[in-house]
Amino acid sequence: GAVVSQHPSRVICKSGTSVKIECRSLDFQATTMFWYRQFPKQSLMLMATSNEGSKATYEQGVEKDKFLINHASLTLSTLTVASAHPEDSSFYICSARQLAGNTIYFGEGSWLTVV
């Protein structure tokens, strides 16, 4: 199946710093990428939908100035957590939809710990 790579898989940062997470579709082109957040033992929570070449669409309650999403190419989207705080500590997962079709593939996720 298609591969979506997410990097870094784990990151620890100090409160107040910014962290960037990359999501790459390795063997297909993705016009749309999705960013999720997942708390322990809870379901995926969609944060935003990222379309190549245009601004991301954020879900209600998600701060666009805090979670900056850039989808610069058909294979790369980035999520930057600006001025991270301990409450931003979570598991962040991206997914990518193939250019042709509706199938969505997920990255392995990134654990963010803000200390």
Residues near 108 by Cβ (< 8 Å), separated by ≥ 6? Answer: 5, 6, 9
Which of 47, 69, 84, 93 is in the footprint of another protein by CB under 8 A?
A: 93
Return the residue of 81, 107, 112, 114 that touches another protein, per CB under 8 A. 107
Q: Which of 74, 82, 104, 113 forms a contact with another protein (CB under 8 A)?
A: 104
Cβ pair 86, 114 in contact under 8 A:
yes
What residues line the site for another protein (CB under 8 A)? 1, 4, 6, 31-32, 34, 43-44, 46, 49, 51, 91, 93, 95, 97, 100-109, 111
